[in-house]
Amino acid sequence: MTSSTAKAQVGVIGLAVMGSNLARNFASHGHTVALYNRTTARTDEMMVAYGAEGAFLAAPTLEEFVDSLERPRRVIIMVKAGMGTDAVIEQVKEHLEPGDIIVDGGNAHFEDTRRREKALRAEGLHFVGTGISGGEEGALKGPSIMPGGSRESYEALGPLLEDISAKVDGEPCCAYMGPDGAGHFVKMVHNGIEYADMQFIAEAYDVLSAAGLSAAEVSDVFREWNTGDLDSYLIEITSEVLDQVDAATGRPLVEVITDAAEQKGTGRWTVQSALELGVPVNTIAESVFARSTSGHPALRSAGQAALSGPDRALEVTDRQSLVDDVRAALWSAKVVAYAQGLDQIRTASETYDWGVDIAEVARIWRAGCIIRARLLERIRGEYAAGDLTTLLEAESIAAELGQAQDAWRRVVALATTAGVPVPGFSAALAYYDTVRAPRLPAALVQGLRDFFGAHTYGRTDRPGAFHTLWSGDRSEVEA
Ligand code: NBP
C-alpha cells in the first residue's frame, strides 16, 4: 500500500489493458484509485509505468484492497469474462459489507449478469453489470458506459462513471440503463450493430474495388464520406486502414491481410438473443454469418473448385455515380441495422421489465464507443420526440430511405449480377421491403403448415382458426 490512511473512491480489480486504462482514467480525473490484480507483478508493473500519473493505492491482497476503499465500496472488476469474473466475485464478496457495489465492466453475457445480480442482491450487495465500449483508448480517454443494476447503486456510482466517460458538448456518454442485465444487454447489441456496420463498410469497399478503384482511391472515398452524414469512427478508420501500405511488399495492407474475419462472440450472442425474443435482426445475423463463412477454408475451397459464376468485374461508365450509389446503400443499410438493434433492446426491455430509454441509449453511443456516429444524434432526437415501433417509421428517416432506395437497389442488383456478394446490403433491403409490404407470402407458408401438420390458419375475411381437410374432401372446418 502506498498509504495507510488515504481512502480510495473506487477500486479496480484486473489490471490488464482495460482495467489499467480505466484506473488511469479515474486517476486523471482526480480520484484516488485502489488497485488489485491476481498476479502481483502486474500491479507492480502498472505502478512503475503509471504510478506517478495520479493517486493510486496498490494492494497486494484483496483484503487490503477492500480496506482501502471508501464506503459504500465501489469495486470494478475488469477481468476475463466468464469463470474469471465468477472467481473474483466469490473472493471479493467475502470482504464486502451490505450496500457495497461490485461492478463488472467486462463483456459478460447478460444472463450471467442477471444470475450474479440476483445472487448478490440476496446477500445485500449491489451488482452492476456495465457495458464499456471504446477499446483500450476509450477506457483511457473516455469510453461510452452502459451501467445496469439497481437505481440506488447508480446514485453512488453514476457520478464517478459519468466523470470518466466520453462527453458530447459536456454531456456524459454514460446513463443508467435499467435493472440487472440491462447494461450488458445494451452493450451486447451495440456490438451486434458494430458487426453489421463493419460488414456494410467491407461490402462498400468490395463493390468499389470490383469497379476498379484501388485501395487508396477507396480510402479517399471514405475520407470524403466522413465529412457528411456517414461521419463516424468506423468510416474514419476505414480510410486509414485502406491507406496503409505494407512495408514488406509495398502493396496496400488490406490486400495482404488474410481474408478470414474472427469474432469473440458478442455478435453471436446478439443473434441468439434475437432468436429467443423473436426480433428480426437479419443484418446482424448476416454479418455474423459472413464472418463465419470467411473463416471456413474447407467450405470456401470446395466452393471455389466447384462453382461457376460471373468474374466480379463491374462494368461502370460513371464512377462518381457508383460511388454515390454505394454511399446511399451504406447509409440505408446502416439505418436498418440501428433500427433492428434498437428494436431488439426495446423488446428485451419489455420482456425483462427494464424500462430502457432508447433515446438515452442513442445519446450515450454518440461518443466514446466504436459505433459512434453523427447519425446517432438524429436517432436520439427521433426517439426523444415520440414512441417509435421502429426507427424506420420516423418521418425524416422514412423520407430519406425513400430517396436512397433506388441507389441501394442498383448497388444490390449490380453487385449480384457481377457475382460480388453483398449479404449485408441485400439483407437490409429485404428487411425494408418486407416490413413495408402490404401482403407477404407468409400466407402460403401457413397453407403448407396446415397441409402437412394441420397447424390451422387465419383468414383475411373473418376471425378464427381454420383447417382444410387436405386428405379428405378439401372442405374447410373451423378449428
Ligand atoms: P483480459 O480479458 O485479457 O483478462 C486479463 C485479466 O483478467 C488479468 O488481470 C488477469 O489476471 C485476470 N484474470 C483472469 Br484471465 N482470470 C482470473 C481469475 N480467475 N481471477 C482473477 N483474475 C483473473 O483483459 P482485458 O483485455 O483488459 O479485458 C478485461 C475485460 O474487459 C474483459 O471482460 C473484456 O471482454 C472486456 N473488454 C475488453 C475490451 C478491449 O478492447 N480489450 C473492450 C471492452 C471490454 P492475471 O494478471 O493474474 O492473469
Give me the average pLDDT of each 10-residue run along the chain (479 residues).
Answer: 73 98 98 98 98 98 98 97 95 97 97 98 98 96 98 96 98 98 98 98 98 98 98 98 98 98 95 98 98 97 98 93 98 98 98 98 98 97 95 98 98 98 98 98 98 98 98 97
Distance between Cα 104 and ligand 1 center (Å): 11
CA-nearest of 134, 127, 133 to 113 is: 127
Compute the distance between CA of residue 23 and CA of residue 13 in angstroms, rounded to an integer.
9
Question: 24, 43, 78: which to mutate for ligand 1, most atoms within 8 A of CB?
Answer: 78
Which of 93, 117, 162, 194 is the catalytic position? 194
Is residue 194 part of the annotated active site? The answer reads yes
* Location of C-alpha cell 450509389: 325
For ligand 1, mutation pick of 12, 13, 17, 18 (most atoms within 8 Å of CB): 18
Among protein residues, the one whose CA lies closest to atom 36 of ligand 1: 106
Lining residues, ligand 1, CB within 6 Å = 14-19, 37-39, 42, 78-81, 84, 87-88, 106-107, 132, 135-136
**All three cell numbers of 351:** 420482456
How remote is the CA of residue 3 from the centroid of ligand 1, in Å?
Answer: 27
Q: Which residue has the cell 433492446?
A: 345
The Cα-based distances of 405 to 89, 146, 341 in angstroms read: 50, 34, 21
Identity of residue 442 = A
Q: In what order do the strands lie in the sheet with 10-13?
A: 56-58, 33-36, 10-13, 74-77, 101-104, 126-133, 144-147
Confidence (pLDDT) at 3:
44
Q: Residue 457 in contact with residue 466, Cβ under 8 Å?
A: yes
Ligand 1 midpoint to CA 92 (Å): 16
Nearest-CA residue for ligand 1 atom 43 is: 135
**Rounded distance between C-alpha atoms, residue 464 and residue 458, angstroms:** 6
Helix boundaries (H) for 83-181: 83-93, 110-122, 135-141, 151-164
CA-to-CA separations, 434 to 360, 408, 426, 440, in angstroms, rounded: 28, 15, 12, 7
Q: What is the spatial distance between Cα 420 and Cα 203, in angstroms, rounded to a whole number?
A: 9
pTM of the model: 0.96
Closest Cα to atom 27 of ligand 1: 18
Please identify, by atom number, the ligand 1 atom nearest to the C-alpha of residue 135. Answer: 41
Please tell me the predicted confidence (pLDDT) of residue 80: 94
What's the CA-to-centroid distance between 434 and ligand 1, angstroms? 42
Q: Whose CA is nearest to atom 24 of ligand 1?
A: 16
CA of 392 to the centre of ligand 1 (A): 38
Q: What are phi and psi of 33, to 5 degrees?
A: -120, 125
Query: What pLDDT was estimated at residue 410?
Result: 98
Q: Is 93 a catalytic residue?
A: no
pLDDT of residue 4: 53
Segments in 178-265 forming alpha helices (H): 182-210, 215-225, 233-243
Q: Are 136 and 115 in contact (CB under 8 A)?
A: no
